[in-house]
Chains A and B, each alone.
Chain A
Amino acid sequence: MKPPPFTYHRARDVQGAADLVAELGEDAKFLAGGQSLIPMMNFRLARPEHLIDIGRLRELSFVDARADSLRVGSLSTHRAVETADLGAGFAVVRDTMRWIGHLPIRARGTVGGSLAHADATAEWCLLAVLLDADIVVAGSGGRRRTIAAREAFLGFYTTVLEEDELIVEVLFGRPAPHAAVTEFAERKGDFALVSAAVDLDLGAGTVSGGRVALGGVGPAVTRVPEAEQVLQAGGRAGRELFEECAHAAAAAVEPPEDGDAGTEYRKALVRNLVIHACEEAVAR
């Protein structure tokens, strides 16, 4: 389980990295924390000819938390976010980090790497989609653009990013004081069988709207408009409403059957985890 050969490049700045990857073409890849890419290379399931190490681009490693917005640099580690004070509006982001692998993985793995890898259960993808985050990317030739997270993830490990584009930051523009993420996996630290995230619009014990996102139910993390409609219709924040929302979520998805779990079981997990997430979100 030794990785195949490649040529190593170390990026000095964001622009240089994007320009270099454009020049080297499709066999080049960015290397950030490497916590997803290197295992795939060790299994020889990924074999890039060139790796552009962006690990030294310290300007991409920041957490800027304000009352009404949160910016996280793409090279910030999960652990850096987990140990940051993000305030009440973004506590959900901090608290979700504990679901990502284990401490040593969180200490190396990066926000941008996780978004770009786009696993169907990735917590960062889930958060970004749930909270309508914007993903800022830099491309070759000085191009920059902002991608709405809800449009970023296309399918299995597939995003709308061009090959020469590098994620520089993720921007959460709306505080989510009543949001929660919950997961179920057979073992601590495993990729979730199903993950559920909710963000409630809550006032005086009443729900007036909200967002629901799921991981592990399809090729990419997804929002569930059917469940959000239930929240939109509103009602007292309590079991009845949450169950209705959860049932709508479960009914709306058709999760895959695989060696770990069948479709019906995953749907049941969706139902129960959405309820848990709602209750946690209210309690926050």
Chain B
Amino acid sequence: MTEHDKVLLTLQVNGASHEVAVEARRTLADTLRHDLELTGTHVACEHGVCGACTVLVDGDPARSCLMFAAQAEGSEIRTVESLAGDDGTLSDLQRAFSANHGLQCGFCTPGFLMLAEGFLAERPDAGREEIREVVSSNLCRCTGYQTIVDSIQDCAERRRETKETSA
């Protein structure tokens, strides 16, 4: 039994450095899930359409099923596991999803969270229609999307309010 070419990689994930030796063909999604045991990132289509595997690569939302782990070397990766505080306190975005019932089965949820996390960082002033267009990046089969849009809009509005208050 021979193994296919492996590559030795150093990945920066959620602020920590990880060394892994994986086959070159291993996707970032599989590496995160099965080598780093960060199973919060989900895989549901493996052709870049559903977005369940969305993570942040240098701050931008990206499909981790459409990246080989080797391509991620040198980039900062963030997954859903990075959102809550160390003590498990939910972030404002996570709380907004819960308050607005923006998730049901929860399988697509990490993808939507990371999509929104990256998007709101870049476009904190986004309105509902712009949010809806971004939400259309990923698929959800449970919610009908409305409460996902609600959740992200709610979070954005609260962040703007907080910013105004503190300004």
Residues of A within 8 A of B (CB): 1-8, 10, 31, 34-35, 38-39, 41-43, 51, 53, 55-56, 79, 102-105, 107-108, 188-189
**In the complex, how many angstroms separate the beta carbon of A109 from the nearest chain B beta carbon?**
9
Q: CA separation between A1 and B43, bound complex, in Å? A: 11
B21 within 8 A of A: no
**In the complex, how many angstroms separate the beta carbon of B115 from the nearest chain A beta carbon?**
7
Instruction: Write the chain A residue with the least CB distance to B3.
Output: A5
Residues on the A chain within 8 Å of B94, using CB: none
Q: Tell which of B67, B133, B136 touches A108, judged by Cβ atoms closer than 8 Å.
A: B67
Judging by beta carbons under 8 Å apart, are B136 and A104 in contact?
Answer: no
Q: CA separation between A143 and B65, bound complex, in Å? A: 35
Judging by beta carbons under 8 Å apart, are A38 and B67 in contact?
Answer: yes
Q: CA separation between A34 and B74, bound complex, in Å? A: 17
Could you say which of B24, B30, B51 has the most chain A C-beta atoms within 10 Å of its C-beta? B24
B79 within 8 A of A: no
Residues on the B chain within 8 Å of A41, using CB: 25
Q: Tell which of B68, B118, B134 touches A38, judged by Cβ atoms closer than 8 Å.
A: B68
Residues on the A chain within 8 Å of B46, using CB: 1-2, 39, 42
**In the complex, how many angstroms separate the beta carbon of A139 from the nearest chain B beta carbon?**
24
Residues on the A chain within 8 Å of B74, using CB: 56
Q: Tell which of B25, B65, B67, B119 touches A103, judged by Cβ atoms closer than 8 Å.
A: B119
Interface size on B, residues (CB 8 A): 33
Judging by beta carbons under 8 Å apart, are A105 and B48 in contact?
Answer: yes
Residues on the B chain within 8 Å of A38, using CB: 27, 48, 65-68
Q: CA separation between A42 and B4, bound complex, in Å? A: 17
- Contact status of A39 and B48, CB under 8 A, knowing A34-B68, A103-B119, A108-B62: yes
**In the complex, how many angstroms separate the beta carbon of A192 from the nearest chain B beta carbon?**
16
**In the complex, how many angstroms separate the beta carbon of A46 from the nearest chain B beta carbon?**
12
Q: Tell which of A6, A53, A102 touches B25, judged by Cβ atoms closer than 8 Å.
A: A6
Residues on the A chain within 8 Å of B118, using CB: 107
Judging by beta carbons under 8 Å apart, are B24 and A7 in contact?
Answer: yes
B36 within 8 A of A: no
Instruction: Write the chain B residue with the least CB distance to A107.
Output: B60
Q: Tell which of B24, B70, B137 touches A104, judged by Cβ atoms closer than 8 Å.
A: B137
